[in-house]
Amino acid sequence: MNAEGRTRLDQLPEWHALSKHRDEFGLTHLRRLFEDDPQRAERYTVRVGDLHIDYSKNLVTDETLRLLRQLAEAAGVARLRDAMFEGEKINVTEDRAVLHTALRTPESATVRVDGENVMRKVHQVLIRMGTFAGRIREGHWRGHTGERIKNIVNIGIGGSDLGPKMAYEALRPYTRRDMTFRFVSNVDGADLHEAVRDLDPAETLFIVASKTFTTVETLTNAKAARAWLLAGLGGDSSAVAKHFVAVSTNAEKVAEFGINTDNMFEFWDWVGGRYSYDSAIGLSLMVAIGPECFGDMLAGFHLVDEHFRSAPFEANAPLLLGLLGIWYGNFHDAQSHAVLPYSHYLSQFTAYLQQLDMESNGKSTTREGGPVEWQTGPVVWGTPGTNGQHAYYQLLHQGTKMIPADLIGFADPVSELGELRDQHDLLMANLFAQGQALAFGKTAEEVRAEGVPEAQVPHRTFPGNRPTTTILASALTPSVLGQLVALYEHKVFVQGAIWDIDSFDQWGVELGKVLAKRLEPALTEGAPVPGLDASTRALVDRYRSLRGR
C-alpha cells in the first residue's frame, strides 16, 4: 500500500488472479481456442465508428478478458478517465490538466480548466486557422514580393512535427496537389537544406511550430530558415512577416524570436506535445487538406472520445487494446509491440505512435514517486506491409520473442490510383494471410504431408500462436484517421492508468538536452567540461581532430 492508501498494482488480488490464470492457461494454442468456439471471431470483434477491430487472434479467453477488466476496475481506470475529461490536473508532475479531447469537442459543450470554459477559445483558434488556411489556399495571402504561396515548410520536432507529418502523408489524396508541403525537424542542417533547396523563397511560407518555443532544434532551424529567406529576398527583414507564422503556447518567446504575434496561432498548456496535432499544431495539415477535411478528422477523434468515455468495459475498444497490451507485457514478458499498417499512406503512422506511446509510458516511477515494480510501456515499432514481410517478419513467425502486432488495413484504395487499384486485393490478401500464419502456423505434420525431407521439417514448421489484432476500415478518410489516432491515444491512457504512471510528462528527455548544451562549446571551441567522463572526452577530442580543430 502506498501513501495515498492505494494498494500496489502487483499486490492487488486482481493481479494475482491474472498471474494464476496465466499459469493455468499457459499458451493454449489459438488453433484450439478457435476449434472450441466457432463464434470466436464474431464474439471477439468490437466496432467503433468505422473501425472494425478483430481481436480474436489474441491469446485470451472470456476468463482472461474478465480478469483484465477487473484489474482495470481495481486500478481506477474509469475514475482517471473521467477526471481527464473533466479537466482535472491528472498530469501530476507538471500540475496540468490533460484536455486534448477538448480540441475536438463541439463548441456547444462545456469543458472547464480552472473554472474557465475553454470551448470558446478552442473554436476561435480553429476559425482563425480556417481563415488563414483559406487565404493561403485561395492565393489571397501573398509573399513579400507579391507571389502566391505555393510551399509550406513546417519547422518543429517531436509532437510539433510527427503528428502533422504523419497526417499529411496519411491524407495525401485529400491534399492540395498543386502545393508543396515539407516538414523539417532534425537539427542536422541536412534536413532544412533538403527541404528548401528546390524551393523559391518568394513562394515559401514557414510555420514554426513549438509548444514552448524554447526547443533548440526548432529555433536553430527557424533562424536558419529566416536567413535562407532573407538571402533569397534581398535581405529586407520586413519579408519575415509574410513568410513566417508561429504556433505556440508562448507568445512572449514568439515575439522575442521576431514573429509578430498577430501571426501566431495559440494552444494551451493542457495540450501535451504528443497529443497536439489536432490543435493549431495541425496548421500545416489544415492548409494541405482544407478546414472541412480537418473538421471531419476532428469529428472522427470525437467519436472515439465519446466511445471511450461511455462504452461499457466489455465493448470499449481502447480499453480492450490497452488490456491486451497489459496481458502480454506484464504476464507474458512481451517487450515490444509491432504496428503494421497495410497502407502506404500510413508510412509515418508507427513513427508517430512511437512518441505517443513511448514518451507517454516509458516511465519507471509511479505517480506518487515510488519505483514501479512491473513492466511499463513497450517498444513500439513497425513499418508498412508488405515491405516488412521481406525484412523482419521472419522473426515474428519463427523467432523466440513474443511480439504482439496490430495489422491495419482498408477495404477501399484511394480512387485516384486508377488501374493501380487492382493491386489492392493483393495487398489486403497479404494482411489477412499474415494474421492467419502468425496465429495458426504450420505443424510438422502439415509440413511432412507436403513431402518435405525430414531434416528440413523443423526449419519449415511455423509454431503459430503469435497474437495479432486486425483493424479494418472502409477507407483512410480524415475521419477514420482521427478515429485511429484517438483509439491509440486512449489505449496508451488505459495502460498508463493501470501502471500508475504519469503518461503526460516527459522528464526523461531533459538530461540529454542539458548535456548537449554543456558539450557544444567543447566541440566548437574545445572548452573544458568539468567532470566529463573519459569516453565522452576521447570522443569529443577525436571529433575535433577529424574536423581539423
Using CB under 6 A as the binding rule, whether residue 402 contacts ligand F6P is answered as no
* Interface with ligand F6P, residue 503, by CB under 6 A: no
Catalytic one among 390, 450, 454, 459?
390
The cell numbers describing 450, all together, are 507436403
Q: Tell me, what amino acid is at 232?
A: G
The residue (of 159 and 441) whose beta carbon lies closer to ligand F6P is: 159
Regarding 164 and contact with ligand F6P (CB under 6 A), the answer is: no
Where does this chain touch ligand F6P (CB under 6 A) — which range of 205-213, 221-229, 374-382, 515-523?
Answer: 205-213
Q: Residue 461 CB: number of other CB atoms within 10 A?
A: 18
DSSP secondary-structure letter at 443?
Answer: -
Element (H, E) at 278: none
DSSP 8-state class, residue 354: I
Q: What share of the chain is helix, strand, coil (3-state, %, to 5)?
A: 55, 10, 35
Q: Which of 57, 96, 165, 211 binds ligand F6P (CB under 6 A)?
A: 211
Contact flag: residue 386 with ligand F6P (CB under 6 A) = no
218, 350, 477, 479: which one binds ligand F6P (CB under 6 A) = 218
The span of 11-19, 207-215, 220-228, 344-352 binding ligand F6P (CB under 6 A) equals: 207-215
Q: What are phi and psi of 46, to 5 degrees?
A: -125, 140
Catalytic residue among 16, 20, 513, 517: 513
Q: Is 509 in the site for ligand F6P (CB under 6 A)?
A: yes
We find the least distance from the C-beta atom of residue 217 to ligand F6P, in angstroms, to be 8
Nearer to ligand F6P, 55 or 277 (CB): 277
Residue 154 found at the interface with ligand F6P (CB under 6 A): no
Of the pair 508, 528, the CB lying nearest ligand F6P is at 508
CB nearer to ligand F6P: pick between 185 and 376: 185
How do beta strands 468-473 and 264-266 pair? unpaired
Using CB under 6 A, which of 58, 105, 160, 284 touches ligand F6P? 160
Helix (H) or strand (E) holding 64: helix 62-74
**Chain residues 251-280 in contact with ligand F6P, contact rule CB under 6 A:** 273-274
Residue 454 catalytic? no
Q: What angle do CA 503, 505, 511 make, to 5 degrees?
A: 130
For the question of residue 390 being annotated catalytic, the response is: yes
CB of 212 to ligand F6P, least distance (A): 3
Q: Does residue number 129 form part of the binding site for ligand F6P (CB under 6 A)?
A: no
Whole-angstrom distance, CA of residue 52 vs CA of residue 471: 6
Binding segment toward ligand F6P, per CB under 6 A, in 134-142, 145-153, 211-219, 432-440: 211-219
Chain centroid offset of residue 224 CA:
28
Q: Are 491 and 498 in contact (CB under 8 A)?
A: no
Rule CB under 6 A: is residue 159 a binding residue for ligand F6P?
yes
Q: Which of 49, 87, 143, 158 binds ligand F6P (CB under 6 A)?
A: 158
C-alpha cell at 517: 548544451
Identity of the residue, 167 or 323, whose beta carbon is nearer to ligand F6P in the bound complex: 167
Nearest to 314 by CA among 83, 70, 14: 70
Given 169, 217, 266, 359, which residue is catalytic?
359
What is the pairing mode between strands 112-113 and 51-54?
unpaired
| Grid cell locating 21 | 490464470
Find out whether 470 and 484 touch, Cβ atoms under 8 Å: no
Q: Which amino acid, one-letter code, is at 144?
A: H
473, 411 contact by CB (below 8 A): yes
Output the nine-digit C-alpha cell for 18: 491474472
Please tell me whether residue 465 binds ligand F6P under the rule CB under 6 A.
no
Catalytic residue annotation: 359, 390, 513
Binding site for ligand F6P (CB under 6 A): 157-160, 210-212, 215, 218, 273-274, 359, 506, 509
